[in-house]
Structure 1
Amino acid sequence: MAGLDRVVVVGASAAGLAVVEGLRRGGFDGELTLVGDEPHLPYDRPPLSKQLLSGQWESPRLQLRAPEAYAELNVDHRLGSPAENVDAEAHEVRLADGSELHYDALVAATGVRPRPIAGMDGIEGAHLLRTVDDALSLRASLSAHPHLVIVGGGFIGAEAAAVARELGCAVTLVTDQHVPLSDAVGTEIGGMLTALHEEHGVRVVTEAMVERVCHDGERATGVRLVDGRSVDGDAVLVGIGTRANVEWLDGSGITVGNGVECDDTLHAGCNIWAAGDVASWPDSLTGERLRIEHRTNAAEQGMVVARNMLAGTDGAQPFRTVPYVWSDQYDRKIQVYGLVRGAEQMRVVDGSIADRKLTAVFGRDGHVTGALGVNMVRPLRALRALVAERADWDNAASATTT
């Protein structure tokens, strides 16, 4: 790309690292700066609620690259000082420490942050789970075998519940959903996984909205629901979704809302691109605007941003993907290709819900939109093509009938 001499990547994340590596592989030999709000080099986040929380891994194992790799990439990393604002006209980003970085192209890879609830600030035993420090803090709490109250019925809460039970903690999971995990995997699979948790001793409270964390002095004692009930506990984990980290772009002229709003090449305008959890883009096939918080999506988008940046806006290609996410809960591995949320139809292809070992396809508007597997890794891969081509539902259902 003509005139591309200085690139600043804001977000020392999997997406940010993929941009850096993609640029160097693509022949970019200019100045390259990686900015991170945490003091850590880029690390993998999925193990936070799995291997790191359980104690199977220690934090150094999460590092995506050894420290010496960054010297080989010739990248200047500015860690522990988040970006505060951008002057898109001057091509300048200001960091919290007061330093100013000039750029020819800027990448937003700042990800998301978890949403807190009232009563958490400064309270010992009240946890969020997004960073390595969050996970280590929660792990320290679990070492005392507390009664853990989990607020939220998504993957983070379910994975933490499984780890906590395996560590010998009492667990109560509170969700405003009728069926936990139904947003992520559908009602029937969600019901199956809820039963799995209950069999492992998790108390599940459904259709309950949490108002705040309760505390005695500066120590969490559970949560209070909006209907006046209380759920007692010694520690609280809140996993009720996220907010995109876009505030640093306010006033830059870049459109932000539920993420950085890009075109389908992941270009947001003014030589600013976005990748990873923070990127919102229109699907090139459906036109639906997506923002996906999956680890594989972050790496894929980082590589595409690097390639498109080097090609220039005229040569940039649309980003296309089949989203993939996985979750480990007890002895079950749940894997999903595509999008299950909003599906109108679901059909089990192989195995059964009763056996808790199956593959299934999900559909909407007459097309296959997602495929899910529980402890069936290879059979699920065969269904990925149906998702990628948005196969006709009726034809796909006939073809997969066993």
Structure 2
Amino acid sequence: MAGVQTAVALREQGFSGAVTLLGAEPHQPYDRPPLSKAVLLGKADGSAFDVDFEALGVTLQVGREVTGVRPGDHALDTAEGAVPYDVLVVATGAEPIRLPGADAVPGVHVLRTLDDAERLRTVLSGQRDVVVVGAGWIGAEFATAAREAGCRVTVVEAAERPLVGALPAEVAAPMTAWYADAGVQLRTRARVERVEPGAVVLDDGTRLPAEAVVVGIGARPATRWLDGSGIDLGDHGEVVADASLRTSVPDVYAVGDCSSFPSRRYAERLMVHHWDNALQGPRTVAANIIGETPAVYDPVPYFWSEQFGRFVQYAGHHGAADATVWRGDPAGAAWSVCWLREGALVAVLAVGKPRDLAQGRKLIEAGTPLDPDRLADPARPLKSALAS
């Protein structure tokens, strides 16, 4: 998404120079969210972007992996030879974290690429015993698809609850019941000791039958190819970009899952591994490549997840919030949670309430104070909670 949208944004904003888009995978560039939904369940054969690269004057080279960059020479290294550049945009995304020692075991999978989804589609069609390691967003989405396909599913999570790194305990706790409601066995505080052919062995000796194992324990920026380049990387291996998405070396930008950026809105550096970030960031990159006045990237982060029959949306960043307001009963089908800082909305989670999300996103952007009592009334539109 980030690479394709950068090429598209450059043309939309009037860039007339040569644009080359390099991708390591052999496929036409494609959208990733459908991989854990329609593609995985065989409802779609792929999710290629509807972009006419030839008409845009963009040179697309798929199946060409970049192995290094030499900023001093303004050149990329590939197995097929060097590729010169005037300006480079790093948009290599993220790669799944692997389960130590499990890669050599047959039947162990991750879900990140189109090839991953196609392999797992065969697994689901066999209605097998599946163990999912990790109760994060991708683990829940895969478990949802596996149950829809008729598989028997167990989700193993080392922490005490799902989404431990994404949401506060009191917000994620109601989501625990979603697993049982969907017929999924959720085992928390359970660590994987080892994976064997046909089984996952937990650290307490429990053996879980597993004709397939899907690992969803997180992702890391795909930046190892930048080692030795002089481009600054952060604590998580991400490219450290400035507010204009420039890196530490001249003529190199970074955008999407592979990078972090400073947010004035939230007064901290953010690393956002979500689709909307890869859609919005390229517009800032293109503007800075073309224009003389620096454009600043400071979005309200947004993502969504479809799991266990629920549409979950989140906008903002709740890390620095000083108050939490619930709208509705989390045991019900539709509810939301709002986070405030000094009376202003900084984040909203909406379950089955897209209107709350849409209105909340605008209120976060505006930064206007809200009345907590009016905000807590789920019968009121969220935008009606403006403080008087």
Deviations 1:259-309 (A, max 9, x none): 110111100031100111111111123331111011011010011101111
Among 148, 169, 193, the alignment partner of 2:151 is 169
How far apart, in 2, do the equivalents of 1:80 and 1:365 lie? 50
- 2:227 aligned residue: 250
Instruction: Provide closer, same or farther for how the CA distance between residues 343 and 168 of structure 1 changes in structure 2, counting only shifts above 3 A.
Output: farther
Instruction: Provide closer, same or farther for how the CA distance between residues 89 and 46 of structure 1 changes in structure 2, counting only shifts above 3 A.
Output: same
Asked if structure 1 preserves the Cα contact closer than 8 Å seen for 2:105 and 2:196, the reply is no
- 1:51 aligned residue: 38
What residue identity is the alignment partner of 1:72?
Answer: A
1:2-401 to structure 2, matched below 5 A, reads 14-59=1-46, 62-66=47-51, 69-95=52-78, 97-215=79-197, 221-257=198-234, 258=236, 259-268=238-247, 269-312=249-292, 315-340=293-318, 345-349=323-327, 351-363=328-340, 368-391=345-368, 395-401=370-376
What residue identity is the alignment partner of 2:99?
Answer: I
How far apart, in 1, do the equivalents of 2:244 and 2:296 lie? 4
Q: Which moved more, 1:112-121 or 1:380-389?
A: 380-389
Report the CA distance between 1:336 and its aligned residue.
0.7
User: What percentage of residue pairs aligned between the two structures are identical?
Assistant: 37
Task: Count residues with an aligned counterpart.
Answer: 374
Report the CA distance between 1:75 and its aligned residue.
1.3
How far apart, in 2, do the equivalents of 1:294 and 1:109 lie? 13
How far apart, in 2, do the equivalents of 1:329 and 1:51 lie? 13
What residue identity is the alignment partner of 1:56?
Answer: K
What residue identity is the alignment partner of 2:375?
Answer: T
Report the CA distance between 1:209 and its aligned residue.
2.1
Q: Which moved more, 1:246-255 or 1:380-389?
A: 380-389
Asked if structure 2 preserves the Cα contact closer than 8 Å seen for 1:192 and 1:356, the reply is no
Instruction: Provide closer, same or farther for how the CA distance between residues 159 and 320 of structure 1 changes in structure 2, counting only shifts above 3 A.
Output: same
How far apart, in 2, do the equivalents of 1:379 and 1:126 lie? 39
Asked if structure 1 preserves the Cα contact closer than 8 Å seen for 2:240 and 2:260, the reply is yes
Report the CA distance between 1:345 and its aligned residue.
4.1
Q: Give unpaired runs (5+ residues) of structure 1.
A: 1-13, 216-220
Instruction: Provide closer, same or farther for how the CA distance between residues 255 and 123 of structure 1 changes in structure 2, counting only shifts above 3 A.
Output: same
How far apart, in 2, do the equivalents of 1:255 and 1:27 lie? 30
Instruction: Provide closer, same or farther for how the CA distance between residues 110 and 335 of structure 1 changes in structure 2, counting only shifts above 3 A.
Output: same
> 1:356 aligns to what SS in structure 2?
coil
How far apart, in 2, do the equivalents of 1:273 and 1:213 lie? 40
Asked if structure 1 preserves the Cα contact closer than 8 Å seen for 2:325 and 2:376, the reply is no
- 2:386 aligned residue: none
Report the CA distance between 1:399 and its aligned residue.
4.4
Asked if structure 2 preserves the Cα contact closer than 8 Å seen for 1:117 and 1:211, the reply is no
- 1:5 aligned residue: none
Report the CA distance between 1:355 and its aligned residue.
1.1
Q: CA RMSD in A?
A: 1.9
> 2:72 aligns to what SS in structure 1?
coil
Please give the TM-score of this superposition, normalised by the length of structure 2: 0.91
What residue identity is the alignment partner of 1:225?
Answer: L
Report the CA distance between 1:208 and its aligned residue.
1.7
Report the CA distance between 1:384 and its aligned residue.
1.6
Instruction: Provide closer, same or farther for how the CA distance between residues 366 and 247 of structure 1 changes in structure 2, counting only shifts above 3 A.
Output: farther
Asked if structure 1 preserves the Cα contact closer than 8 Å seen for 2:13 and 2:287, the reply is yes
Instruction: Provide closer, same or farther for how the CA distance between residues 343 and 137 of structure 1 changes in structure 2, counting only shifts above 3 A.
Output: farther
Report the CA distance between 1:385 and its aligned residue.
2.7
What residue identity is the alignment partner of 1:168?
Answer: G
How far apart, in 1, do the equivalents of 2:250 and 2:228 lie? 13
How far apart, in 2, do the equivalents of 1:364 and 1:52 lie? 40
Report the CA distance between 1:359 and its aligned residue.
2.0
How far apart, in 1, do the equivalents of 2:363 and 2:101 lie? 46
Report the CA distance between 1:252 and its aligned residue.
1.6
Asked if structure 2 preserves the Cα contact closer than 8 Å seen for 1:184 and 1:341, the reply is no
How far apart, in 2, do the equivalents of 1:391 and 1:184 lie? 25
Q: Give unpaired runs (5+ residues) of structure 2.
A: 378-388
Report the CA distance between 1:338 and its aligned residue.
1.0
Asked if structure 2 preserves the Cα contact closer than 8 Å seen for 1:276 and 1:301, the reply is yes
Asked if structure 2 preserves the Cα contact closer than 8 Å seen for 1:284 and 1:319, the reply is no
Report the CA distance between 1:342 and its aligned residue.
7.1
How far apart, in 1, do the equivalents of 2:101 and 2:177 lie? 31
Report the CA distance between 1:391 and its aligned residue.
5.0
Please give the TM-score of this superposition, normalised by the length of structure 1: 0.88
Q: Which moved more, 1:205-214 or 1:239-248?
A: 205-214
